């Protein structure tokens, strides 16, 4: 059974590069362009009784930013799904804000594909 990863980022290029990293490694990918669409994607998965193995989210997005998105996810049935922040933000204050919102990890763009895969495997390994 393949593991589904939800990518939430307003950059189509970034979503595509993450997908091109994950798909050859055996992951399924769902995409959303902002936090609100990310929540809608989770609702659609819930309706199909599916749970993503992991969520990868940017911080700076229109409509709903990543920190707000993470806080909202943590109020749902998906609160135990690990969320990796993939962002250009490097400030410790932002990282602390993400961690307090519920982010499980923080990776700074641009990312190395092998680094992303290592992190994703670490967070999804415990799921069946």
97 within 8 A of 68, measured Cβ to Cβ: no
Parent domain of 36: 3-124
| pTM, full prediction | 0.94
* Spans of the chain below 50 pLDDT: 1, 127-128
Residue 116: strand, helix, or coil: helix
Question: Tokens in use for 37?
Answer: 């669409």
**Number of structural domains in the chain:** 1
Q: Which residue has the tokens 């609160």?
A: 79
pLDDT at 125: 79
CA distances from 77 to 66, 81, 89, 119, 124 (A): 18, 9, 28, 23, 17
CATH number at residue 60: 3.40.50.2300
């Amino acid at each position: 059974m393949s593991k589904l990863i939800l990518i939430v980022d307003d950059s189509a290029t970034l979503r595509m590069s993450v997908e091109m990293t994950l798909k050859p490694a055996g992951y399924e990918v769902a995409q959303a362009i902002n936090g609100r669409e990310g929540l809608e994607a989770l609702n659609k998965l819930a309706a199909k009784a599916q749970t993503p193995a992991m969520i990868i989210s940017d911080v700076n997005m229109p409509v709903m930013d990543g920190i707000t998105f993470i806080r909202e996810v943590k109020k749902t049935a998906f609160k135990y799904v690990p969320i990796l922040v993939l962002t250009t933000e490097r400030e410790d204050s932002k990282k602390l804000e993400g961690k307090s919102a519920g982010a499980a990890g923080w990776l700074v763009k641009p990312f190395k594909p092998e680094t992303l895969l290592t992190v994703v495997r670490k967070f999804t390994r415990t799921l069946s």
